[in-house]
């Protein structure tokens, strides 16, 4: 993809999202051959720049800061200085002030070998390596055709810092290496971000609790503001609750928090689920409706009553303290075992925006649960947080994931209204 600074095309792109952390910015070193620079790259491209294979792959931007055209035939890109000529640049002339965007994603041939000179349907070049988002070296090198001596022209060394989805890294307008939350592949970079907000910390970890406690959330970045939600949505400044001091957790609570600071990349969204068994066993359809969940779910062939909570025929009813009230078909047999059984195996907490499950406005962004067969929804995957919670607090973890409906015929409400999921 060849572009000049005075004539820049546009590609479909969306801006950032994803897990963030705090890292110091690494120095950038530029040595002399022609005045070529790696001015920007993206190691986790999920929705920013589409290539000719209709895929979102890593990309690297090379800029000709010289006043004359540069023949790229003797230049190379590499993510390993032990192999400085890893991928040969295409033999073309890069005009002064022009950019070449190379995707780091060459496919394999029928023999399983990387296609070194791959060009896709848009005319984009693809390097023979991928970028490591956890950090690695990246260099543009030059091989003198008369002496075969290889020199480094532009590099991020010893390695660039950790990278984040749809956030690029490169040289800001002041010449300093920075992150960019508004990437500009094939165009000049702006001021960039001053740094990354350090991750939020919770004073109490997820798990099962039977007594109230005070919860503190913090970030070590001075001046950072922490916002949180308890309804499954992702925290957003202004729209979510600003954290101002310790929170009292005295019932089952799903807490999502992120820290923000102007001019900085915000943290990822941290999710913590705190479970009180008396709330779990006493949940009913009515408690779900009181919490704002829809009373009915819509499908292609009509609307049917939403089904929340446990089956009362099996366990009956419970009061707010978790004591069984009867009403089941088994004389209280399973009701008496319920709380102990819930602690006999790990619990999975799936946390996501309720609209991603239950929104029903007859659009192509309807929730995936209300019509689990996905008759009209072209994007049946949604983002979710997944927590593995053990009764003893050992081996717990949280990951961000995609979630889809699972199954065949039993995705129909005629067989069951409790459907299965799969994580992707």
Of residues 235 and 361, more confidently modeled: 235
Give the pLDDT confidence score for residue 376 in this predicted structure. Answer: 45
**Rounded to 5 degrees, what are φ and ψ at 175?**
85, 0
Measured distance CA(382)–CA(174) in Å, rounded: 39
Stated as kind and residue range, the H or E segment containing 288 is helix 285-290
Mean pLDDT, the chain, rounded, equals 88
Q: Given a cut of 80, is residue 327 above it in pLDDT?
A: yes
Give the pLDDT confidence score for residue 332 in this predicted structure. Answer: 95
Of residues 384 and 362, more confidently modeled: 384
Of residues 418 and 134, more confidently modeled: 134
Q: What is the pLDDT confidence band of residue 374, given thresholds at 50, 70 and 90?
A: low
Mean pLDDT of the region 217-227: 98
Q: What is the pLDDT confidence band of residue 6, given thresholds at 50, 70 and 90?
A: very low
What DSSP string describes 2-23?
EEETTB----------S-----
Give the pLDDT confidence score for residue 379 in this predicted structure. Answer: 60
Q: What is the pLDDT confidence band of residue 3, given thresholds at 50, 70 and 90?
A: low
Query: Residues with Cβ < 8 Å from 178, sequence gap 6 or more?
Result: 25, 169, 170, 171, 172, 191, 192, 193, 194
Q: What is the pLDDT confidence band of residue 372, given thresholds at 50, 70 and 90?
A: low
Question: What is the residue extent of each domain of the chain?
Answer: 1-194, 201-275, 278-423
**Stated pTM of the model:** 0.81
Stated as kind and residue range, the H or E segment containing 403 is strand 397-406
Measured distance CA(378)–CA(224) in Å, rounded: 38
Give the pLDDT confidence score for residue 17 in this predicted structure. Answer: 32
Q: Give which of 21, 329, 262, 331 is closest to 161, Cα–Cα.
A: 21
Q: Given a cut of 70, is residue 331 above it in pLDDT?
A: yes
- pLDDT tens digits along 153-175: 999 999 999 999 999 999 999 99
- Residue 424 near residue 403 (C-beta atoms within 8 A): yes
Q: What is the pLDDT confidence band of residue 406, given thresholds at 50, 70 and 90?
A: confident
Stated as kind and residue range, the H or E segment containing 358 is helix 354-358
**Rounded to 5 degrees, what are φ and ψ at 60?**
-130, 130
Of residues 239 and 300, more confidently modeled: 239
Q: Given a cut of 90, is residue 296 above it in pLDDT?
A: no
Query: Residues with Cβ < 8 Å from 183, sequence gap 6 or more?
Result: 13, 15, 40, 42, 48, 49, 166, 167, 168
By the 10 Å C-beta count (0-12 exposed, 13-18 middle, 19+ buried), 35 is classed as middle
Mean pLDDT of the region 175-202: 97
**Looking at 201-338, which runs of residues are DSSP E strands?**
201-202, 207-208, 213-215, 217-218, 225-229, 241-242, 247-249, 253-260, 264-265, 270-275, 296-299, 302-305, 317-318, 324-326
* Token pair recorded at residue 212: 């109230």
Give the pLDDT confidence score for residue 25 in this predicted structure. Answer: 33
Q: What is the pLDDT confidence band of residue 95, given thresholds at 50, 70 and 90?
A: very high
Measured distance CA(235)–CA(59) in Å, rounded: 30
Mean pLDDT of the region 304-328: 91
Q: Give which of 291, 199, 216 is closest to 255, Cα–Cα.
A: 216
Q: Given a cut of 50, is residue 347 above it in pLDDT?
A: yes
* Token pair recorded at residue 409: 């015929």
Give the pLDDT confidence score for residue 18 in this predicted structure. Answer: 30
Give the pLDDT confidence score for residue 139 in this predicted structure. Answer: 98
- pLDDT tens digits along 9-44: 333 333 333 322 223 333 333 334 569 999 999 999
Q: Given a cut of 80, is residue 263 above it in pLDDT?
A: yes
* Token pair recorded at residue 111: 């023999």
Q: What is the pLDDT confidence band of residue 380, given thresholds at 50, 70 and 90?
A: confident
Stated as kind and residue range, the H or E segment containing 356 is helix 354-358
What are the start-end ranges of the H helices in 304-350? 312-315, 333-342
Q: What is the pLDDT confidence band of residue 346, given thresholds at 50, 70 and 90?
A: very high
- Residue 107 near residue 7 (C-beta atoms within 8 A): no
| 320-328 own/partner pairs: CB under 8 Å, 24+ apart | 320/278, 320/282, 321/278, 322/277, 322/278, 322/279, 322/281, 322/282
- pLDDT tens digits along 129-148: 999 999 999 999 999 999 99
Three-state DSSP state, 314:
helix
Mean pLDDT of the region 74-79: 97
* Token pair recorded at residue 302: 């009509």
Tell me the CA distances in angstroms from 276 to 61, 74, 322, 341, one per residue in order. Answer: 52, 65, 10, 14
Give the pLDDT confidence score for residue 1 in this predicted structure. Answer: 63
Give the pLDDT confidence score for residue 112 in this predicted structure. Answer: 87
CB burial readout 62-88, b (16+ within 10 A) else e:
bbbeeeeebebebbbbbbebeebebbb
Mean pLDDT of the region 47-62: 96
By the 10 Å C-beta count (0-12 exposed, 13-18 middle, 19+ buried), 219 is classed as buried
């Amino acid at each position: 993809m060849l572009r000049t600074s005075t004539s820049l095309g546009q590609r479909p792109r969306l801006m950032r999202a994803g897990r963030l952390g705090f890292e110091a910015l690494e120095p950038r070193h530029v040595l002399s051959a022609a005045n070529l620079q790696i001015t920007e790259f993206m190691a986790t491209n999920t929705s920013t720049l589409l290539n000719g294979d209709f895929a979102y792959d890593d990309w690297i931007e090379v800029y000709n800061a010289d006043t004359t055209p540069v023949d790229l035939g003797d230049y190379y890109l590499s993510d390993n200085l032990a192999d400085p000529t890893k991928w040969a640049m295409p033999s073309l002339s890069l005009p002064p002030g022009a950019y070449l965007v190379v995707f780091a994603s060459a496919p394999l041939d029928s023999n399983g070998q990387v296609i070194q000179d791959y060009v896709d349907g848009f005319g984009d070049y693809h390097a023979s390596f991928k970028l490591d988002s956890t950090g690695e070296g990246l260099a543009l090198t030059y091989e003198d055709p008369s002496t075969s001596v290889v020199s480094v022209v532009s590099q991020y060394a010893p390695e660039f810092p950790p990278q984040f989805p749809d956030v690029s890294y490169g040289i800001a307008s002041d010449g300093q290496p920075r992150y960019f939350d508004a990437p500009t592949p094939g165009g000049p970079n702006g001021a960039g971000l001053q740094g990354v907000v350090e991750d939020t910390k919770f004073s109490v970890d997820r798990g099962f609790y039977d007594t109230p406690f005070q919860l503190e959330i913090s970030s070590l970045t001075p001046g950072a503001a922490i916002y949180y939600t308890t309804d499954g949505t992702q925290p957003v400044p202004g729209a979510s609750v600003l954290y101002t001091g310790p929170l009292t957790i005295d019932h089952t609570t799903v807490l999502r928090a992120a820290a923000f600071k102007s001019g900085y990349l915000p943290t990822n969204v941290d999710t913590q689920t705190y479970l009180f068994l008396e709330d779990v066993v006493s949940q009913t359809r009515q408690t779900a409706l009181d919490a704002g969940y829809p009373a009915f779910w819509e499908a292609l062939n009509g609307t049917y009553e939403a089904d929340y909570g446990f089956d009362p025929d099996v366990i009956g009813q419970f009061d707010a303290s978790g004591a069984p009230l009867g009403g089941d078909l088994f004389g209280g047999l399973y009701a008496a075992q319920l709380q102990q059984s819930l602690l006999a195996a790990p619990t999975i907490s799936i946390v996501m925006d309720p609209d991603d499950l239950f929104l029903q406005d007859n659009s192509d962004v309807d929730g995936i649960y209300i019509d689990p067969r996905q008759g009209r929804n072209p994007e049946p995957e949604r983002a979710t947080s997944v927590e593995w919670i053990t009764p003893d607090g050992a081996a717990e973890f949280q990951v961000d994931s995609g979630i889809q409906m699972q199954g065949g015929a039993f995705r129909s409400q005629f067989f069951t209204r409790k459907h299965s999921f799969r994580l992707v």
